[in-house]
Structure 1
Amino acid sequence: MECVATNPGEGMRVGVVRSFTRVIFMVLGLAACQSLPDRAQVGSSYKQKDVSDTDLAGQMAPLVKPHAGKSGAYPLSSGLDALVARLALVNSAQKTLDLQYYIWHSDKAGRMLAWSLLEAADRGVRVRLLLDDMGSPLGDESLLLMDGHPNIEIRLFNPLSDREWRIWSMMTEFGRVNRRMHNKSLTADNTVSIVGGRNIGNEYFEANSDVVFADLDLAVIGPVVEQVSDGFDLYWNHETSYPVSLLSSHQFTEAEMIQARQDGALYIEAAKQSEYAGRLLSADLVKTLGVQEWFWGEASVLYDHPSKALADEPADDLLLSTQLSQVFGDLSQELLLVSPYFVPGKDGVQFLQGLVDKGIQVTIVTNSLAATDVGAVHSGYAKYRKDLLKSGVVIYEMRPDPNKKSESAEHDKSAFIGSSAQASLHAKAFFLDRRTTFVGSMNLDPRSLLINTEIGVILHSSEFTDSAHKQILLSAKDKAYKLSLDQEGDIIWTAWQGGAAIQYDSEPMVSAWRRFAVWCIGLFPIESQL
């Protein structure tokens, strides 16, 4: 039946409806046309077990041998040390390098590490680099240039099907591409691994003067490294991981490859003249790797199964949180949680209240609004603070360095962007009864628990856990606000400066506009995505 308009206004409405309908069908049609390439012919590869003849294995064997069945861990809390350690491992590798990261920036730190991978490949080292397709904005051309090396293969986890119109792919495939690989690990010669919270970028390695992330990695040796490698192999060979060469038809000529290599060499040579590179080059690599300071204990690697990225409601046996809950089940005295993005939800609040009711001391260290780089997550966290404080949970919120330039209204243009604060907590670590430590990539928020994939190392070492616990609490008392409730039940933020207590009755060091914007965000039903 033909629709006939009885007046111009109605005709306009009919036209709009028809146009909107056409757009909807076009979107649905284009979405249906989007698909990932067939990876049936993609080959599998695995860790190289025969590495006993490598220099790294020779260096670590005397350290591991006296500690039968145990693994060694060395904390990398300094950003500079964390990059030096990575460069040292890449430069020392003789057979294999396996890297798995969520974010890899094309900045000074990112390009220096990428150049080291190229040099390792030139030495004959097999390099496997697995990146999340959403979090690594290097671009297909840069990745293809590296992938063109005969000893380097790059794969992308859960890639977008439309490479040119990525935002379109995000919109039309949201249910799938919303699930990201948040894992971070580097393994050299199947002998030494680094696992923790750091991505690859200036802000993670103290190379950015505007923002510095306070983060934590563990360098590990011993049996636990085999588990890191097994987890990498599982992700590398999984159906969600695609060779970058399958995703792009772009071809480079030999001349272009040579020119790109020359351009890279010039960049690295110039970068070596910087003050930051001088600090890297002057660092004592052996001391950084902590050869004489390893903490020993039974250790294991926990990680989400990569199939979590395929499931709308992943089964419990796919989740790292299920494995971790077994560890939490043995708690009896103290729990210290360090998480930059902390959104416990009602169930989490109830769980922590239950621990306090059992006589367990629960302490949380997270970001203040002034220090966080994701205001939306803070909005999800803020609504649970009073209930946690009422139940007896101790909360510290890390603050920006008071001697640095703090956030101003000039930078409060959006609650979705990070502050201009000089320091932001990014470490993810849990300390149980001063004898067990978890360090990894997992935040305590719905996204980490249910949407993204994560990894972490569990270390059973009273010496390490007690030492780390004490240092973190000392740091929190010096560099954080301690939250409490006044007689009316409102939150008070207390900071200590020069031995004196300074109290605030609203979110400190942020403008009223930012506080209001973040409060508004909290009204939206987006908690499941935080």
Structure 2
Amino acid sequence: MHKLIALLFPALRAPVLLLIALVLTGCAGLPPRTPEPPSQAIAASPATALGRAAVRLNTPPDGLSSLRPLIEASYALDARLELIRRAQSSLDVQTYQLGNDKTGRLLLRELRDAARRGVRVRLLLDDFYTAGMDRLLLGLASEPNAEVRLFNPFVNFRDHSSSRWLEFFGDFRRLNHRMHNKLFVADGAMAIAGGRNLADEYFQRSEVANFIDFELVMAGPVVTESAAIFDTYWNSDVVYPLQRVAGTTRTPAELKSAFDADTGRTYAPPPDPLPATDLLGDPPLAAQLANIDEAKWMRAEAHATADSPNKALGVMAHPTESLAQRFHEMLATAQSSVVVISPYFIPGDEGMARIRMGRDHGINITVITNSLADSDEPLVNINYNRYRVDMLKLGVNLYEVSTQQLRRSGQFRDLLKKARGRLHAKLALVDRQWVLLGSMNLDPRSARLNTEFGVRVRSFDLTQALLFAYQLDDIEGVYRVVLKPDGQNVQWIGTGDVTNEVLDSEPDSSMLTRLQLLLFSWFVPTDQL
């Protein structure tokens, strides 16, 4: 929804803009920027259980990090709950979206409980999806050991999403920049990074639509790098303490009482019990930590990197500060193969030039993205469609994720149940040796407007695990997109069962839907997608 309305902004007529400007006249702007005392990550220590576990996982110290893939959503949620409950010194959580749902409320309650145990809790949220959540967040922030800060916050009309759009349009240049980073650090010793936001649909707990995503649990030097990046954001000029922008007449006691009610088991039920092992044969994190000497974590060279938070101010001191630039530089080192997995994929002219260069050098390139029917940002898909034929002519292997195909695949049939299935993982595999993961989509918005966080890992074992988990050598649950015999149009070949149906139009979408999106796309600048 953010993209859909934000992208229509340039097409609004002058009278509408004038009305918005009049409505906003007299509304408060950002509060004065007063320096906050710098706050730094608490380093890992053998005085904590997680610190000791990290030492055992990284013995002998050799500059490598220990990694465990989180492919299944239920294990990803469980890992967060375990780390919160075991934390003894600090929890640093950064995310684009914290859902006002059973998952978001469950995590807030667990963070509150940790703060009451004496753990320092720092929660950093992008402010785009916090409408109506001030009371909940203030309840957490009322705890002596907990602090909540907002990235690039809204100031007016905070309670309702519909009224926030007035401020969004009135301050478009500022508010169109968002923090898309996702990072979770416990005791400075273990971290989780990848693509998941903290809401039901990212942990297979939605009855409407759920996302296929990927993350890593990490221990070792990459965690220290990640914690330093968190500090850079936490102390940046784009971040404000929650209380500075969210006023309340409630006392701390009243906020705590409301928080207790809002995060009780009725509104924040625990997740279902986990199976004994995940897709890769690994037990839940609790079992691994209980028997750390037997835990089979991957050892690899891993490095964390991110955009500067000043990207939200339109200030980038050097192109190397751009995560997108570093990502493309890494892809350019490919010698044999590149597999790109991205829910939103718009290569643009620069991306097409890179693809052409890679193919000229014999690089096998595979792109996996969402189909039009299963994208939660269909306008992005319409713009991606403009590049399909050219990519196929260059010899790119192109696949589109489809709910109907996923339900025919044994691996996802039971997982999705009645909900739609959508791709949300952001991954690249280079030469079956390097893995790039994080929050960055391959579209202009991630490259130019949003801030992003990523991890670069050199690991044959991790690459093989991903190839197995997502069946990348024999993909199922998707449509394979190919050129028609005329060489100018595309068709879709199913992979979910033995019938392998062939379609000549966008799968699972009506002509009316395609026409409406095409008309919208005429008014939407591609650089806003």
- Where on the TM-score scale, by shorter chain, does this alignment land: which range? 0.7 to 0.9
Could you list the runs of 5+ residues in structure 2 that have no partner in the other structure? 1-13, 278-282, 409-417
Tell me the distance in 1 between the aligned counterparts of 2:390 and 2:16. 49
Secondary structure of 2:201 counterpart: helix
1:125-177 C-alpha deviation (Å, 9 max, x unpaired) = 00000000113345222211111111110000011232445222101110010
Give TM-score scaled by structure 1 length.
Answer: 0.87
Tell me the distance in 1 between the aligned counterparts of 2:17 and 2:376. 36
Query: What is the CA distance between 1:22 and its match in structure 2?
Result: 13
Q: 1:136 aligns with which of 130, 141, 159?
A: 130
Query: What is the CA distance between 1:523 and its match in structure 2?
Result: 2.5
Matches for 1:9-28 after TM superposition, within 5 Å = 24=18, 27=21
Tell me, yes or no, if structure 1 residue 101 matches structure 2 residue 101. Answer: no
Matches for 1:247-326 after TM superposition, within 5 Å = 247-264=245-262, 267-268=264-265, 271-272=268-269, 276-279=271-274, 284-287=284-287, 292-311=295-314, 315-326=318-329
Distance of aligned partners of 1:441 and 1:21 in 2 relative to their CA distance in 1, 3 Å threshold: closer
Distance of aligned partners of 1:313 and 1:455 in 2 relative to their CA distance in 1, 3 Å threshold: closer
Contact 1:339 1:366 in 2 (8 A): yes
Mean alpha-carbon deviation: is it higher for 123-132 or for 63-72? 63-72
Mean alpha-carbon deviation: is it higher for 47-56 or for 479-488? 47-56
Contact 1:91 1:116 in 2 (8 A): yes
RMSD: 2.6
Distance of aligned partners of 1:507 and 1:72 in 2 relative to their CA distance in 1, 3 Å threshold: same
Q: 1:47 aligns with which of 35, 41, 46?
A: 41
Secondary structure of 2:493 counterpart: strand
Contact 1:203 1:213 in 2 (8 A): yes
Matches for 1:217-256 after TM superposition, within 5 Å = 217-256=215-254
Tell me the distance in 2 between the aligned counterparts of 1:470 and 1:261. 43
Tell me the distance in 1 between the aligned counterparts of 2:509 and 2:18. 42
Residue number in structure 1 paired with 2:141 = 147
Residue number in structure 2 paired with 1:345 = 348
Distance of aligned partners of 1:50 and 1:381 in 2 relative to their CA distance in 1, 3 Å threshold: closer
Query: What is the CA distance between 1:31 and its match in structure 2?
Result: 5.1
Query: What is the CA distance between 1:326 and its match in structure 2?
Result: 3.1
Contact 2:406 2:421 in 1 (8 A): no
Secondary structure of 2:353 counterpart: helix
Distance of aligned partners of 1:288 and 1:452 in 2 relative to their CA distance in 1, 3 Å threshold: farther
The letter of the residue matching 1:300 is H
Contact 2:405 2:476 in 1 (8 A): no
Distance of aligned partners of 1:95 and 1:30 in 2 relative to their CA distance in 1, 3 Å threshold: same
Residue number in structure 2 paired with 1:395 = 398
- Count of residues in correspondence between the two structures: 494
Tell me, yes or no, if structure 1 residue 509 matches structure 2 residue 508. Answer: yes
Mean alpha-carbon deviation: is it higher for 243-252 or for 361-370? 243-252
Could you list the runs of 5+ residues in structure 1 that have no partner in the other structure? 1-19, 406-419
Query: What is the CA distance between 1:119 and its match in structure 2?
Result: 0.5
Query: What is the CA distance between 1:499 and its match in structure 2?
Result: 2.4
Residue number in structure 2 paired with 1:124 = 118
Contact 2:119 2:145 in 1 (8 A): yes
Query: What is the CA distance between 1:508 and its match in structure 2?
Result: 1.1
Residue number in structure 1 paired with 2:331 = 328
Q: 2:71 aligns with which of 55, 77, 88?
A: 77
Tell me, yes or no, if structure 1 residue 59 matches structure 2 residue 53. Answer: yes
Tell me the distance in 1 between the aligned counterparts of 2:126 and 2:16. 34
Tell me the distance in 2 between the aligned counterparts of 1:122 and 1:326. 45
Contact 1:378 1:518 in 2 (8 A): no
Secondary structure of 1:518 counterpart: helix
Matches for 1:479-494 after TM superposition, within 5 Å = 479-489=477-487, 490-494=489-493
Query: What is the CA distance between 1:32 and its match in structure 2?
Result: 7.6
Distance of aligned partners of 1:264 and 1:22 in 2 relative to their CA distance in 1, 3 Å threshold: closer
Contact 1:94 1:189 in 2 (8 A): yes
Structure with max Cα Rg: 1
Tell me the distance in 1 between the aligned counterparts of 2:525 and 2:254. 46
Query: What is the CA distance between 1:268 and its match in structure 2?
Result: 2.1
Tell me, yes or no, if structure 1 residue 526 matches structure 2 residue 520. Answer: no
Distance of aligned partners of 1:427 and 1:287 in 2 relative to their CA distance in 1, 3 Å threshold: farther
Contact 2:407 2:477 in 1 (8 A): no
Contact 1:397 1:482 in 2 (8 A): yes
Tell me the distance in 1 between the aligned counterparts of 2:18 and 2:199. 39
Contact 1:104 1:138 in 2 (8 A): no
Residue number in structure 2 paired with 1:156 = 150
Residue number in structure 2 paired with 1:199 = 197
Residue number in structure 2 paired with 1:422 = 420
Distance of aligned partners of 1:310 and 1:147 in 2 relative to their CA distance in 1, 3 Å threshold: same
